[in-house]
Structure 1
């Protein structure tokens, strides 16, 4: 869900999380923004995303796909 919102160009972490939240409209599967934010940080640490800035700063940091 998060990687599908990322792209080869830089996007703000808050934008990616907001789009992912919009896609998770299933009333039985609720995921909060903090859980998604932690997952973005993990994806940066795993190398799936590249960060421009501190990933813990959701509104400032930008990320893009690593490949």
Structure 2
């Protein structure tokens, strides 16, 4: 999943979100569980969870801005 193919708005499934972040889905779930600042998924049915694509993009942008001066 590239920056161009990941949605800018709407919902994204966990696998697409993990690919966008270049991590495994297990790591994605771990980040959600252990990092209070990481966007939470929404369960839309018994077996389907989604992330808000705009929230994920904003989180990535915030992480990039926070590490701008770090060597």
TM-score for the superposition, normalised by structure 1: 0.42
TM-score for the superposition, normalised by structure 2: 0.40
Where relative contact order (Cα < 8 A, 6+ residues apart) is larger, the structure is: 1
Structure showing greater Rg? 2
